Amino acid sequence: MSTRTVSILGATGSVGRSTLDLIERNAEQFEVLALTARQDVSGLAEAAKKVRAKRAVIGDEALYEPLKAELNGSGIEAAAGDEAIIEAAASGADWTMAAIVGCAGLRPVMAALEKGATVALANKEALVSAGDIMVQVARKSGARLLPVDSEHNAIFQCFDRAQPGSVRRIILTASGGPFRRTSLEDMRAVTPAQAVAHPNWSMGAKISVDSATLMNKGLELIEAYHLFPLEPDGFDVVVHPQSVIHSLVEYVDGSVLAQLGAPDMRIPIAYTLAYPERMETPCERLDLVRIGALDFEEPDLERFPALGLAKEALREGGAKPAILNAANEVAVASFLDSGIGFLDIASVARETLASCDPPPPSSLDEVLEVDRQARDIAGQVIGKMLN
Ligand code: NAD
Ligand code: MG
């Protein structure tokens, strides 16, 4: 593989750090143009020095001076603010990792796509909120989206893009999260610490809570719809607690292809980093004999209503996925902050969806306006719950 220039948006997060780990191990193959983060000045500066990045960008403008001080003498340029993150996204790297969490990553991703970049996409919320627009822009500019989410990366590896019509169904696997066997009654009292303790994957707080409510799988259904050319009812979810099979593609002849591997995000990240080649990773090798058996079960929509809400939003389309995502972001933040209860997260999403009905957004600005409106309404719903 020849040397590639790379930028990482959200470099201090879980996916960002896994990406940096692979880059450090193969330092001679990559030249890092920019790393970005929101507030973690020390984490950002340390990472930038380790991979000798050209530029480090902190989202919070008030942190420009501290960042500059930490980078003093390193030769690394410091920048701050949302616009500087967007600039970093559009800096023309051969490969850009989009690993900002939430709709906050949307404008940077769009900036990269408009430039015709190759974007490794972890930031599923961007695609859920603005999938149609992102795909259109990518088509126009020649940008390439390589899915990082383990399920979508698995599907990407199994999907015959030369014969899309031969695919009948896509099956996303879900671990079921930490409350797969917890009663509805006990779920009421779940604490943030319990919700972020995922049985198989180590991830950021927001996606960990989403995995516990199964909203993550719902967002992933919508994500998959934008990445692979099937109708909404062509996507199914099966609970597979071992997280060994990362997803499956069923063909018209009855053949089913799956991608398997240890639950380590460095595997899908490496796939996108070396694409279309492959690279070595230090990840644990799959030992099927030790695993012994793989289990599968139907998701329980009664205990995990978030998945049902996402299915509905996917079917309805228009502004619904963006509303669902915004309401969920606000609700999860409140839950993590010891505001609403665990089961209230899905209720906030449901009530926000019911009372917010803007026309389908047809531009990035319109998506951002839907996002803003839905956040307002979700905030009001939460305010009533807490009173
Ligand atoms: P995280 O919370 O660990 O990291 C988030 C990163 O985004 C940090 O670098 C943070 O500084 C940055 N960030 C947050 N808010 C920002 C803002 N407003 N402006 C600019 N930067 C901001 O999250 P994560 O677990 O790494 O997840 C990142 C994305 O990848 C999410 O969309 C998540 O759904 C997706 N994803 C994560 C995993 C995983 O294993 N962690 C797996 C699949 C998909
Ligand atoms: Mg996933």
Q: What is the pLDDT of residues 84-130, one digit of tens each?
A: 999 999 999 999 999 999 999 999 999 999 999 999 999 999 999 99
* pLDDT in the model for residue 2: 79
Q: 122 CA to middle of ligand 1, Å?
A: 8
Beta strand extents in the chain (DSSP E only) = 4-9, 30-37, 55-58, 77-80, 95-98, 118-121, 144-147, 167-174, 235-239, 245-251, 256-260
Confidence grade of residue 244 (pLDDT, cut at 50, 70, 90): very high
pLDDT of 291 over the 80 cut? yes
DSSP 62: G
Polymer length in residues for the chain: 387
Q: 119 CA to middle of ligand 1, Å?
A: 15
Secondary structure class of 380 (helix, strand, coil):
helix
Q: Residue 301: which region, alpha, beta or left (left: phi > 0; alpha: psi -120 to 50)?
A: alpha
Q: 260 CA to middle of ligand 1, Å?
A: 24
Task: Determine which residue's CA is closest to atom 27 belonging to ligand 1.
Answer: 101
DSSP 149: S
For ligand 1, whether the C-beta of 208 sits within 6 Å is no
Q: Which burial class, exposed, middle or buried, applies to 211 when counting CB atoms under 10 A from its CB (0-12, 13-18, 19+)?
A: buried
Q: 101 CA to middle of ligand 1, Å?
A: 3
Confidence grade of residue 202 (pLDDT, cut at 50, 70, 90): confident
For ligand 1, whether the C-beta of 104 sits within 6 Å is yes
Confidence grade of residue 201 (pLDDT, cut at 50, 70, 90): confident
DSSP assignment of 90-113 equals TS--SEEEE---SGGGHHHHHHHH
For ligand 1, whether the C-beta of 203 sits within 6 Å is yes
pLDDT > 90 fraction of the chain, expressed in percent and rounded? 98
* pLDDT in the model for residue 329: 98
For ligand 1, whether the C-beta of 240 sits within 6 Å is no
* pLDDT in the model for residue 200: 85
Average pLDDT score over residue span 226-236: 97
Q: How far apart, in whole angstroms, are the C-alpha atoms of residue 217 and residue 172? A: 8
Average pLDDT score over residue span 278-283: 97
Q: How far apart, in whole angstroms, are the C-alpha atoms of residue 321 and residue 4? A: 35
pLDDT of 1 over the 80 cut? no
Structure token digits, residue 241: 């607690």
Backbone angles phi, psi at 307, to 5 degrees: -65, -40
Among 63, 101, 109, 208, say which to mutate for ligand 1: greatest number of ligand atoms within 8 Å of CB.
Answer: 101
Cα atoms in the 13 Å half-sphere on the side-chain side of 30: 27
For ligand 1, whether the C-beta of 20 sits within 6 Å is no
The answer to whether residues 268 and 148 touch, using CB atoms and an 8 Å cutoff, is yes
End-to-end CA distance of the chain: 59
* pLDDT in the model for residue 262: 96
pTM of this structure: 0.98
Q: 135 CA to middle of ligand 1, Å?
A: 21
Backbone angles phi, psi at 264, to 5 degrees: -140, 115
pLDDT one-digit tens code per residue, 118-141: 999 999 999 999 999 999 999 999
Q: Which of 346, 355, 369, 386 is nearest to 133 (CA)?
A: 369
* pLDDT in the model for residue 23: 98
- Asked whether the CA dihedral 91, 95, 101, 104 is positive or negative, the reply is positive
Alpha helices (runs of H) in 262-362, residue ranges in sequence order: 266-274, 288-291, 305-316, 320-336, 344-355
* pLDDT in the model for residue 77: 98
Q: How far apart, in whole angstroms, are the C-alpha atoms of residue 209 and residue 228? A: 26
CA 295 to chain centre: 25
- Asked whether the CA dihedral 24, 30, 31, 35 is positive or negative, the reply is negative
pLDDT one-digit tens code per residue, 295-345: 999 999 999 999 999 999 999 999 999 999 999 999 999 999 999 999 999
For tokens 């050209």, the residue is 54
* pLDDT in the model for residue 328: 98
Structure token digits, residue 187: 């779920």
Give me the chain's average pLDDT, please: 97
Q: How far apart, in whole angstroms, are the C-alpha atoms of residue 149 and residue 162? A: 22
Secondary structure class of 174 (helix, strand, coil):
strand
Q: How far apart, in whole angstroms, are the C-alpha atoms of residue 227 and residue 235? A: 12
Min mean pLDDT across 23-27, 197-201, 375-379 is at: 197-201
pLDDT one-digit tens code per residue, 146-169: 999 999 999 999 999 999 999 999
The answer to whether residues 387 and 339 touch, using CB atoms and an 8 Å cutoff, is no
pLDDT of 209 over the 80 cut? yes
Structure token digits, residue 213: 């409510």
The answer to whether residues 41 and 32 touch, using CB atoms and an 8 Å cutoff, is no
Task: Give the atom of ligand 1 at the shortest distance from the alpha carbon of 16.
Answer: 26
Confidence grade of residue 198 (pLDDT, cut at 50, 70, 90): confident
